């Protein structure tokens, strides 16, 4: 990302983590960070860029599979399960090339920017050509995603994923061969060639306990530990996976990960849906995070994870749009609370402030950027502004902006997105990708075949 000129923004209303403050002057330094923040600015300072509405820290989409965006609506026909949905996913994955994936991801990341997302955690496992042969550049697919994020103007944590088997003791099937490096050591050698850059961090992922043999889990964990990098893992998304793990190892997936050193404060379990009391205790005691993806979890009929119990046990919460049934982090925050209400038949499990924290500061921390997700001096100048005068948000007092954002607003209410002090979305229009809808249509048609 280019260096930013010194700039001042005047925020009509700003969410500062605990409350909404009217009239905030925010100065951006040449390093793309917040240089100063002044409250009580009743009118815009001379030369300031005015952002009317409610400004939040940029949203962190902590779990994404960019190519799943091509499945939207296609997989809503008829019935089925996660496992039947997966067959549609494989068909799209087979049609990806580095060029097609770049075009699709660029459009998807632009859609995220329009929804107020400034940082995405891309759980990336389509590494090689169909059949499993490496490209001339073994990281061509990952590089395509990194470049796509740059062109869409957002930050990315590329969570390069180890995916080595079809199940416990099973070789990859025909669809999965392009996901696999063969061994965790080969995975580590390949991913070590990926280099971070200003807008991109490199992290690691264990696809799942069924896709990485137990004896190879420690290799992935060690790679992340040596680099102090984020490590993510799909965990107990399906009861069938739990049952297979118990049959193969006599322990739950969480217990297996604990045995092999995968859990810890830089690790995030994605979904964490079907857990035992012991599992919850292990995740909480190790400060392993939890990324909830409620719209995908309900779309795939996965179930409702114990987010409240996990957080109380010590597991920080973040949010992701996962399969991109919709891309709307405000909806993800709202759904986490409303799911818990349905399960418990009581209201008010998280405050609006707590839900926004999961979507901002804690999401960025899960992606290795603890210096983002806050409107305070020294933080990255990444923020987004939501209209308070749309048909969804009009009426409530501005001091209730956090509640309005979580319980009434949607991605359609995002008016501005700023990354590193640079305007990426202005007045609801992407400044770098001129026609995002057309870019989505063309790139999706190319991979659907």
Point out which residues pair with 206 in neighbouring strands.
162, 233
The angle, 0 to 180 degrees and rounded to 10, between the axes of the packed helices 436-448 and 98-114 is: 140
Q: Are 60 and 373 in contact (CB under 8 A)?
A: yes
Strands 117-124, 59-64: pairing is parallel
Q: Report d(CA 26, CA 39) in Å as an integer.
A: 9
Place of tokens 């793309």: 32
- Within 13 Å, how many C-alpha atoms sit on residue 260's CB side? 21
Provide the token pair at 384: 């987004």
Are the beta carbons of 242 and 274 closer than 8 angstroms? yes
**Which of 332, 328, 355, 369 lies closest to 119 in space, CA to CA?**
369
In terms of Cβ atoms closer than 10 Å to its own Cβ (0-12, 13-18, 19+), residue 171 is exposed
322 among known catalytic residues: yes
Name the active-site residue from 160, 279, 322, 362: 322
Structural element, H or E, at residue 424: strand 422-426
Catalytic residue from among 207, 232, 271, 416: 271
Enclosing H/E stretch for 291: strand 289-292
**38/270 Cα distance (integer angstroms):** 37
Q: Which residues are known to be catalytic?
A: 271, 322
């Amino acid at each position: 990302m280019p260096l930013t000129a010194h700039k001042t923004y005047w925020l009509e209303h700003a969410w500062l983590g605990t409350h909404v403050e009217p009239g905030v002057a925010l100065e951006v330094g040449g390093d793309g960070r917040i240089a100063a923040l002044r409250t009580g600015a009743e009118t815009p300072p001379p030369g300031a860029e005015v952002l009317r509405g409610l400004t939040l820290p940029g949203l962190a989409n902590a779990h994404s599979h960019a190519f799943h965006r091509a499945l939207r609506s296609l997989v809503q026909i008829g019935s089925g399960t996660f496992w039947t949905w997966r067959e549609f996913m494989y068909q799209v994955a087979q049609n990806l090339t580095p060029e097609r994936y770049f075009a699709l991801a660029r459009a998807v990341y632009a859609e995220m920017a329009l929804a107020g997302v400034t940082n995405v955690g891309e759980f990336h496992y389509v590494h090689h050509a169909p059949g499993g042969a490496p490209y001339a550049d073994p990281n061509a697919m990952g590089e395509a995603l990194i470049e796509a994020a740059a062109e869409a103007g957002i930050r990315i944590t590329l969570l390069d994923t180890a995916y080595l088997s079809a199940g416990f003791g099973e070789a990859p099937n025909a669809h999965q061969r392009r996901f696999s490096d063969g061994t965790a050591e080969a995975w580590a050698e390949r991913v070590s060639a990926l280099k971070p850059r200003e807008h991109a961090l490199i992290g690691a992922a264990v696809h799942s306990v069924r896709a990485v043999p137990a004896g190879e889990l420690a290799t992935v964990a060690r790679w992340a530990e040596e680099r102090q990098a984020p490590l993510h893992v799909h965990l107990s998304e399906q009861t069938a996976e739990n049952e297979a793990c118990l049959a193969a190892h006599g322990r739950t997936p969480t217990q297996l990960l604990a045995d092999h050193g995968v859990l810890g404060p830089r690790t995030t379990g994605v979904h964490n849906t079907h857990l035992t009391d012991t599992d919850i205790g292990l995740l909480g005691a190790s400060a392993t995070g939890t990324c909830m993806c409620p719209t995908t979890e309900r779309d795939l009929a996965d179930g409702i994870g114990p987010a409240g119990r996990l957080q109380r046990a010590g597991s920080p919460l973040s949010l992701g749009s996962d399969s991109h049934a919709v891309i709307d982090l405000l909806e993800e925050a709202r759904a986490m609370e409303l799911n818990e209400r349905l399960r418990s038949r009581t209201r008010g499990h998280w405050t609006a402030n707590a839900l926004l924290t999961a979507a901002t500061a804690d999401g960025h921390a899960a992606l290795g950027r603890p210096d983002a997700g806050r409107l305070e001096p020294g933080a990255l100048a990444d923020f987004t502004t939501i209209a308070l005068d749309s048909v969804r948000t009009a009426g409530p007092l501005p001091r209730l902006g956090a509640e309005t954002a979580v319980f009434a607003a949607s991605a359609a209410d995002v008016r501005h997105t700023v990354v590193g002090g640079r305007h990426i979305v202005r007045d609801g229009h992407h400044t770098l990708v001129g026609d995002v809808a057309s870019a989505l249509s063309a790139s999706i048609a190319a991979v659907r075949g």
